[in-house]
Each structure stands twice: as C-alpha cells, then as structure tokens.
A and B are shown apart, each in its own frame.
Chain A
Amino acid sequence: MDELILKLKREIIETLNLDDMKPEDIKDDEPLFGDGLGLDSIDALELIVLMEKNYGIKLRDASEGKKIFASVKVMADYIKDNR
C-alpha cells in the first residue's frame, strides 16, 4: 500500500508538473484540492486521465470523483479496490 501511495505521489508530481515538489512534501491525508495541495479543475481532469491510463479505472461520476480525489491515500485505496 505504501508503495502504491509513493508511486501515486510521483505520478501526480510528474503529471501536474509540480516541479518544485517531492513525494515527501505531499502528506498521505492532505486534501488535493482547496486548502491542501491547491489543485484546480484542470488538474482534476489530469487526475481522471491518470487513473484511466495508468490504472485502467474510468471515472464517470462527479460525486464519486470528488470523494476519490480527497487525498492520495483515498486515491490509493480506491485503486487497490477497483483495478
């Protein structure tokens, strides 16, 4: 699980071009949007595509998406249960 979280953090940094960030800068439970990492709607689209391309998970429901992108840990849990 820890490996998946680390992998996800690396992928988020690479996909979103967060050049000045390292995986350890992102806390497992930190919110990705709003006050946490401060991502916005375009970043959300990048994450939707990331889930699809890297893990074969197609997200179709907005309310589901909002819950899944709550934090890296929640994302990892969802990937573990659904891929």
Chain B
Amino acid sequence: MGNTTSYKWKGVTGGGNFGLKSLFFLFKYCDVRVGYFFMYLTIPFYILFGVKVRKSIEHYFQYVYGFGKIKSFFKTWHCYNTFGKVMLDRFSIFSGQKHKFKVETEGVDLFWDLMKSGKGFMMVGSHTGNFEICGYLLHQDIKKIYALVFGGETQVLQQKRFAQFITNNIEMVAVKDDMSHLFVMNDALMNGNIITMPADRNLGSSKSVTCNFGKATAEFPVGPFSIAAIRDVPVLAVFVYRLKTHEYKVIVKKIEINSDTEVKSAKKKAEMLAQIFVSELEKQVFEFPCQWFNFFEFFNQK
C-alpha cells in the first residue's frame, strides 16, 4: 500500500449503434427475459473467441479466490451470463421498462442524510453489479449529481442514458484532455452538489495505489479520493447487485477515516480512503463473486 504507480484502461465500451437500436426496439415490446434467451446463445461465442477477456476473468477467479482452472472456467461462464443479464436489464430500463424493476436497499439513509446537508459529497462506485442502474432507480431533486464518464461511448447509448438521467437530476460529465471536467467537479462540490464516478478503474488521472484484494493485489485509482480529500467532502460507496430477474439491491457504505487518526496531507488522506474503499469492495465482491465486471487483466498474483 502506498506505492503510487501508473496504469491505463483504454476506455472503450463495445456495441455498435445498429445493435443498440435493435435492443431498444425489442425491449419496447418484449420482456427482458426474451433478451436473456438470445443472450444465452451468444455466450459460447464470447467464451470461444474472446480469449483475452475470458482469461482475464478466469485469472480473477484464480488469483483472488484461489480457484482451480476448471472451477474458474465455469465461474467465468456464470459471470458472463450475469453480465449479459445486467446489460439487458439496462437496455430494458432505457426502453421504458423501469417500472418493472424492484430495488432492495441497505444503508440508503446515509445517502439521504448527506442529501439534506448543505455540503457536497462524492459517491464512488465500481464495476461490480450495475452501478449505473441506481441512477435510474433512485429519484431525487434535492441536489444535482454530476456523473463522470468516458467520452468514448456510442452516441446512441449516451443519448438514451441522458434521457433517463435528466429526469433524476443527473448530468453526465465527459473526461476531456482540456481538463474541463475538473472545473465542473470543483464547482459542483463547492456548490454543495454531488460527484459520482467509478473508483476501481482509472478515469482521468493515472495515480494509483497497490492494494491487497483476496489472494491477489491490484492497482486501484486514487483520483476519486484525492478530489474528496482536496475539497474535504464526505465519500459514500454505492454498490448495486442483481439479485434476480427485475430485482436489484443497492448497498451504501460510508468511506471515512477513523476520527482518532490525524492525517495532514491530502495525498495521504486520499490513499487511506482508497484503501478503506478497497477493503469494502473486497467484502462485497466476496459476497457476489460473479458480479465483478472489470473485463481486463486487473489483478496480479501475489
């Protein structure tokens, strides 16, 4: 812990405009389970031909949990199935089926308490389950939420997202080379609003810390926690998991340093917050092992 190093994720999300439009059309008229059926048929192709991605998830099961190769292969298959369902649920929501989804919550009071305060805060997520879905399912009009996203996604996906987000007081902020996103984020926190971004993948800054995770280690970004430390705002971690068809669970945890610990520099505070977040994420991932969707070589074998 504490070694600041660099790593990069390319920021590419798959899916062409035609395919996406077809899904939106399908889910306007059909239940999401129709989509699941077709999705099951495609999984073997992803398993067979997407070797690099498949290996990265198999390595996740091998390195983090210490599973053997065969068990890791079947867990990877299950992971693909769950990911497919999560993605299709998202498209179903985009297509106007939001009312069909139920959300179970845990710790959401933490969110509403901060909402009622005048202070801005950070909400960090992860590529487990479906972080984005809480943006569609939790309604509020108290504070504006600025969601930091990569600019590289397809236009159709961005437009659909925007249409859903705008009704829930959420604005997307694309990470740009001119650093304009930083000014938006700074202003948002100063004005008592909310910034939300993933904290398990590099987004903008390349600063990271090496953390233990199960039986492995990995580089986790410090950026989200640096912003919180610099502006001295509270941090909530939000985890969203798929329980079954049309059912999700939102778990909110406060990420804070013990009040007895004196931390002078923002850099040190950010690293400590990152470590606390990773410990929480580790607990969550061990409860929902097949909902880790960081599909690239993320973990190192110890």
Main secondary structure on chain A at its contact with chain B? Answer: helix
Is A83 an interface position by the 8 A CB rule?
Answer: no
The complex places the Cα of A15 from the Cα of B226 at a distance, in Å, of 12
CB pair B182–A48 under 8 Å, yes or no, is yes
CB pair B266–A46 under 8 Å, yes or no, is yes
Interface residue from A16, A17, A45, A63 paired with B182 (Cβ < 8 Å): A45
Interface residue from A17, A48, A62 paired with B178 (Cβ < 8 Å): A62
Return B193 CB to nearest CB of chain A, in Å. Answer: 15
Is A2 an interface position by the 8 A CB rule?
Answer: no
Is B183 an interface position by the 8 A CB rule?
Answer: yes
Which of B76-84, B90-98, B204-212 lies at the binding interface? B204-212
Task: Say whether, besides A17-B265, A46-B230, A62-B179, A41 and B186 are in contact (CB < 8 Å).
Answer: no
Number of contact residues on A: which range applies? Answer: 10 to 19
Q: Which of A40, A45, A66 has the most chain B CB atoms closer than 10 A to its own CB?
A: A45
Interface size of B in residues (CB-CB distance below 8 Å): 23
The complex places the Cα of A45 from the Cα of B178 at a distance, in Å, of 13
Is A70 an interface position by the 8 A CB rule?
Answer: no
Task: Say whether, besides A45-B227, A49-B230, A61 and B183 are in contact (CB < 8 Å).
Answer: yes
Is A1 an interface position by the 8 A CB rule?
Answer: no
A and B contact pairs by CB, cutoff 8 A, 22 listed: A41-B182, A41-B205, A41-B223, A42-B204, A42-B226, A42-B227, A44-B179, A44-B182, A45-B185, A45-B186, A45-B226, A46-B266, A48-B186, A49-B186, A49-B231, A62-B176, A62-B179, A62-B182, A63-B180, A65-B179, A65-B183, A66-B178
